[in-house]
Amino acid sequence: MSRIGKQPVKIPAGVTVTVANDNTVIVKGAKGELKQSVDRDITVEVKEGEVIFTRPTDQIRHRALHGLYRALTASMVKGVTEGYKKNLELVGVGFKASNQGNLLDLSLGYSHNIIFEVPKEIKVVTAQEKGQNPTISLEGIDKQLIGQVAAKLRSLRKPEPYKGKGVKYSGEQLRRKAGKAAGK
């Protein structure tokens, strides 16, 4: 049995989980509603305040999907109760970020500013304190969507290994390289 897949997902108070006829799991909570279609081989049951996933055989495919859908459902339950948050830092001279609604205006050292439209499901907050690097904060209920948007923002100017300039996650440890002088 899968270690992750065989653990039931506990449903906290204020959250409802339903399984539609087409094997779609619908999770509703205080912060919103999320849907996830589940492979037809995996059976999903909601009973006694828990969501239980079972698989028909021990094939590699079934074992992989068993743990996957259990983890996705657990993330959905956490998302509609607490929500998810990712913070990014802009490290570099003259790097700036500002937003108007869900339009993000980034100045990342290129000859032009980058206008990035964030999906409406995600709330964006930019901050610039004196003496600190500019920060971008992404909040929402969909873990996958927040991770995807954060990765796309990071890819606009990845941190370089010499001075660490670029867009990085808050708390990210960068592998730094020595400069030319240290090579001799």
Fold match between domain 9-81 and domain 84-169: yes
User: Dihedral through CA 19, CA 24, CA 28, CA 32, nearest 10?
Assistant: -170
Residue 183's pLDDT is 57
Which residue matches tokens 């929402």?
140
pLDDT band at 107 (very low <50, low <70, confident <90, very high): very high
What are the domain boundaries of the chain?
9-81, 84-169
Q: Would you tell me which CATH number, out of the four given (3.90.930.12, 2.120.10.80, 3.90.1300.10, 3.10.180.10), belongs to the domain 84-169?
A: 3.90.930.12
φ/ψ (deg, to 5) at 175 = -80, 115
pLDDT tens-digit map of 61-106: 998 899 999 999 999 999 999 999 999 999 999 999 999 999 999 9
Instruction: Give the CATH number of domain 9-81.
Output: 3.90.930.12
pTM for this one? 0.88
> Contacts by 54-63 with C-beta closer than 8 Å and gap 24+?
55/2, 55/5, 63/2, 63/5
* 158 contacts 151 by C-beta, under 8 angstroms: no
Q: Please compute the mean of the pLDDT values over residues 34-57 and round it to a whole number.
A: 91
Enclosing H/E stretch for 167: strand 166-169
